[in-house]
Amino acid sequence: MRFEKIRINNFRNISSQVVDIDREDIVLIGDNAQGKTNFLEALYTLCYGSSFKTPNLKEAVKHGETGFFLEATFLNDYNERQYVMFSFENGKRNIEIDGKKVLDRKELIYQFPCIVFSHEDIEFLKGEPETRRKFFDQMMSLSNPSFLDDIRLYRNVLSKRNAAIKLGDKSLITLYDGRLAKYGLSIMKERDKAVNDFNTIFPHLFSIVSGGKDDLYISYQKSWADVESEDDILSILHDTLDRDIKMLTTTSGIHRDRFSVRDSNGIFNQTGSTGQLRLCSLIFRIVEAKVFESSTEKKPILLFDDVLLELDDRKRSIFLNQVDSYSQAFFTFLPRERYFDENHKKPLCYNVIDGKYSL
């Protein structure tokens, strides 16, 4: 799919306007704090019903207003024209596709698969284990609705089990164990497959762009190690119940799984330079797009938020040549920044000044 036009009203510092974006590559050029990232955030909000900058959409409302409105026309996978609308007023969201209300935001995810590249992605390497779990779960959810359902169900059961632990109600805890084992085993199997798919692309791609090592890989360490069945998991939950009650939480499970980036020297975030870690986080996102295309035969929308600044001209050119799994891509650049080489297809370029976009 591909967006054609977007209408923005009262979102961040953006002046209310309609912007033509009917091109495969769109470049936003402007100084900092002019509205480049805000434009990407508006697109992302249409794709996910949430922001990649803040969990509180009230922060995206223009100062002095009570809400914002976003609307876009797009061509779907069958080249048919449709429109999507998102409004946020007095703390309430309303999402519609062709006038039909969207009740579950996962409908948006599969209609508008979108991947954002941002500076915060370096936390995939430097951050807590939860950050890497979240990345892989989001990557898998983008192409696998049943995985997203399992993650939601697991979290719901985990929350109820933890509440029962705090009450000390062992009969209720046991009741939840079966469901936790069912969803957890399914999630582990899908994570195994996802890591294998990731590792078939990741090491070689990092080597191409970095011009160096090709021994990087993702290691997946399971909290429930060496289990083959739900009964195996139930046995672990039974054996660790006293510990759970003492700690007042479920101390084992897929919510404790760990993903790490490793090479021949060990954990990469302990040995790699900041530049290597930054590049690695960019490669994470490219691989995410490639895995999505391979598993769905569809291409996502890509949003690049000032992430190429730290790459030299050679690495930038090589990196952009590897960015091929997308239906539409949006890039933000500074005015004096070199963005594409002469071999790249001609983009649609907008100058961004004080929330206004002009060709």
For residue 38, report the phi and psi dihedrals to the nearest 5 degrees.
-60, -35
In terms of Cα–Cα distance, which of 41, 54, 53 is closest to 114?
41
pLDDT grade for 99, boundaries at 50, 70 and 90:
very high
Residue type, 137: D
For residue 337, what pLDDT band results from cuts at 50, 70 and 90?
A: confident
Q: What is the pLDDT of residue 264?
A: 86
Query: Could you tell me if 271 and 318 lie in one domain?
Result: no
Q: In terms of domains, do 334 and 209 share one? A: no
Helix (H) or strand (E) holding 356: strand 356-358
Give mean pLDDT, residues 272-300.
Answer: 93
Radius of gyration for the alpha carbons in the chain, expressed in angstroms and rounded:
22
Please check whether residues 87 and 147 belong to one and the same domain: no
* One domain, residues 103 and 214: no
Residues 223 and 163 in one domain: yes
CB atoms within 10 A of CB 224: 18
CA angle 53, 131, 177 (to 5 degrees): 120
Residues 70 and 169 in one domain: no
Task: Give per-residue pLDDT as tens, 7-35.
Answer: 999 999 999 999 999 999 999 999 999 99
Q: Which domain CATH number covers 292?
A: 1.20.1050.90
- 148 and 291 inside one domain: yes
- Write down the mean pLDDT value for the chain: 93
Same-domain status, 100 and 7: yes
The mean-pLDDT minimum among 118-122, 266-270, 287-291 falls in: 266-270
Provide the 10 A C-beta neighbour count for residue 195.
18
Task: Summarize the confidence of residues 149-164 as an average pLDDT.
Answer: 97
Render pLDDT for 183-231 as a digit per residue (tens, 0 to 9): 999 999 999 999 999 999 999 999 999 887 778 999 999 999 999 999 9
Please give the pLDDT value at position 343: 64
Query: In the chain, which residue ranges form alpha helices assigned H by DSSP?
Result: 36-48, 106-111, 123-126, 129-143, 145-167, 170-210, 230-239, 241-247, 268-271, 274-296, 313-322
Q: What is the pLDDT of residue 342?
A: 64
User: H-helix or E-strand containing 221?
Assistant: strand 217-221
Output the pLDDT for position 341. 64
- Which regions of 10-118 does DSSP assign to beta strands (E)? 17-20, 25-29, 67-75, 81-89, 92-97, 100-101, 114-117
User: Once rounded to an integer, what is the mean pLDDT over residues 264-270?
Assistant: 88
Query: Does 328 score more than 90 pLDDT?
Result: yes
| Number of C-beta neighbours around residue 289 at 10 A | 24
CB atoms within 10 A of CB 242: 10
Domain boundary among 253, 273, 296: 296
What is the spatial distance between Cα 171 and Cα 184, in angstroms, rounded to a whole number?
Answer: 20
Q: If DSSP states are collapsed to H, E and C, what string results for 222-270?
A: CCCCCCCCHHHHHHHHHHCHHHHHHHCCCCCCHHHCEEEEEECCEEHHH
Mean pLDDT of 125-143: 93
89 and 28, same domain (yes or no) = yes
Domain boundary at 296, 320, 340, which?
Answer: 296
H-run or E-run covering 5: strand 2-9
What is the per-residue pLDDT for 123?
A: 93
Q: Which residue type, as a one-letter code, is found at position 16?
A: S
Domain count, the chain: 2
Domain edge (last residue) among 296, 318, 339: 296
Separation between Cα atoms, residue 42 and residue 303, nearest integer Å: 11
* Global pTM value: 0.93
Same domain, 256 and 356: no
pLDDT of 170 above 70: yes
Quickly count: other Cβ atoms within 10 Å of residue 100's Cβ: 9
Q: Given this model, what pLDDT does residue 313 score? A: 83
Co-location of 137 and 208 in the same domain: yes
Query: Which amino acid appears at position 61 of this protein?
Result: V
DSSP 169: -
CATH of the domain at 30: 3.40.50.300
C-alpha 358: how far from chain center: 29
Range of the domain at 260: 121-296
- Burial class of residue 87, CB neighbours in 10 A (0-12, 13-18, 19+): middle
Co-location of 340 and 240 in the same domain: no
